[in-house]
Chain A
């Protein structure tokens, strides 16, 4: 079973994460130990030019191994005179990056996360044009503040609107909890471009029964390492009552397909 993790972070945070994975070499060692073939990752930074530095560090780290696949951390608020947020999509593609993710803006001057079309429509449109997957942590959709950011003003309603408005833009919800099943099933049934990661979505037979309802091609292995332990997602797929084809899709095939579809 070839695992391709869609949700990994390296780097140190201001409030240290226990067992943080500080660099690419350490991440690769952990991937070797657990036999994870590839990881879609970003390198965290907390600086005055945060998103730019994150993307720079991510690209640097990705150069160390083709098993490390960079994720572009999307700017969701302008920080420069005359800046157009949608222009970053071109820079991302020019850098060879094929997936983007949302990360809360942090620090005292940062505004709350807003995913609504009036804020980001042009960015979504550009990503839709190139079929670039957009990864959004589920935890941002429940109005929970973090230590260094305001309460996000985003919800499942925004996910539904984005999916409906941009049908070629794959939306990947990261780490939804098991009791989100009604929203996840509905979104997946309504929108072919909606995906989500496990394993917190992990009630008994939840994975198997969800696959029966929406197919095995909508769920992705995402560990959220180093916050969460990757063993849960690996174990969930390995021991699922599914055929090997479906397990492989969830373990890495679905993510690989999404990245290969980027134009």
Chain B
């Protein structure tokens, strides 16, 4: 079965593409394709765009990094991003359990303000294990604004198979939750984790750049583990890299991400929009895959 056959026959993918089809229909037959829209510098229309990796922070220097949810939401709307999932910078930078909780509280407030277009990840800090374990319960509260977890292995200098991450993975596995991980300590350890916790989905941030792994090693892992994904945000991007990954593992394994308000939106949108892949593959990456992974945890 080739990838197109798989897509056409997969109930999950059909479910993922349903809102896209609705959006396309709403746009009518004359709407521009994704490439044309982005090349014209317009906000995407008729495309269900879910940014699976973004950030907010209430403290703003207002010089290079205006970071709060208001500016993120304004910019996302301008670019045609319908839904954004954020983690708080303050969570990664927390040096106490109270600071970690406060960072999560700020996310609750932000999502409360942007109910239809914003969701959040809980930050799990391996060095504040007691607080992090207590905080992870917030993901399964009714109407939780939290749709999964963000682990920043590089900041925490903590590998995926480190013991302090295991309570989180067990929890995510039990509740079929998504974990976004900035890899530290080698991608092979991420592979071991994906095998051990097959009911959770696990995304390697930034295509697992800066981990020492080659593209081929990352591709091999993605092929081996059905619950393993990558996201697209990065400040640099090898020529035709997305095409390489889509050919090798399928668009289904790749999540659109911007890393805003760290990075700018434009390059992150354009790298998907201008890739030499099909329109359906772009739609899966832009939002279809996130819809499939997060399901009804995301607003329609």
Contact = CB atoms under 8 A, between A and B. Distances in A.
Contact of A228 (B66, B239, B244, B274): B239
A216 to B, nearest CB: 15
B265 interface: yes
Interface in B96-147: none
Contact of A200 (B38, B79, B235, B238): B235
A202 B264 contact: yes
A233 B268 CA distance: 10
A235 interface: yes
B63 A209 contact: yes
Given A202-B235, A231-B274, A238-B38, A19 B267 contact: no
B272 to A, nearest CB: 8
Interface of A: 1, 17-19, 33-35, 177-178, 181, 199-200, 202-207, 209, 225-241
A228 B266 contact: no
Nearest to B269: A235
Contact of B263 (A202, A209, A237): A202
Nearest to A226: B239
B256 to A, nearest CB: 13
Interface residues of B, number: 36
B83 interface: no
A181 B263 contact: no
A111 B220 CA distance: 39
A207 B271 contact: no
Contacts of A178: 235, 263
A19 B264 contact: no
A229 B275 CA distance: 9
Given A231-B267, A232-B271, A234-B270, 16 more contacts: A19-B239, A35-B39, A178-B263, A181-B64, A199-B267, A203-B264, A204-B64, A205-B64, A205-B66, A209-B64, A229-B240, A229-B274, A232-B237, A235-B270, A238-B41, A239-B264
A227 B270 contact: no
A72 B263 CA distance: 33
A233 B270 CA distance: 9
Nearest to A204: B261
The 8 closest A-B pairs by CB, nearest first: A235-B270, A239-B266, A238-B41, A232-B267, A231-B274, A235-B266, A231-B270, A204-B261
Contact of B265 (A34, A177, A237, A239): A239
B268 to A, nearest CB: 7
A51 to B, nearest CB: 24
Nearest to B234: A232
Contacts of B261: 204
Q: Which of A235, A236, A237 has the most CB of B within 10 A?
A: A235
A235 B38 contact: yes
B56 to A, nearest CB: 11
Nearest to B215: A18
B239 A18 contact: yes
B296 interface: no
Contact of B264 (A229, A231, A236): A236
B280 to A, nearest CB: 19
Given A203-B262, A204-B261, A226-B239, A236 B267 contact: yes
9 contacts: A1-B41, A18-B239, A18-B240, A204-B261, A204-B263, A229-B237, A231-B270, A234-B274, A235-B269
Nearest to B266: A239
B221 interface: no
B236 interface: yes
B276 to A, nearest CB: 8
Interface in B248-270: 260-270
A236 B235 CA distance: 11
A206 B271 contact: no
B66 to A, nearest CB: 6
Contacts of B67: 204
A225 B240 CA distance: 10
A233 B64 CA distance: 18
B271 A231 contact: yes
A240 B241 CA distance: 24
B271 to A, nearest CB: 5
Contacts of A227: 238-239
B65 A203 contact: yes
B65 A204 contact: yes
Nearest to A238: B41
B64 A231 contact: no
Contacts of A35: 39
Contacts of B240: 18-19, 229
Contacts of A234: 39, 270, 274
A202 B5 CA distance: 39
Nearest to A175: B236
A229 B266 contact: no
Given A204-B260, A204-B261, A238-B39, A233 B267 contact: yes
Contact of B239 (A225, A235, A237): A225
Nearest to B42: A238
A202 B267 contact: yes
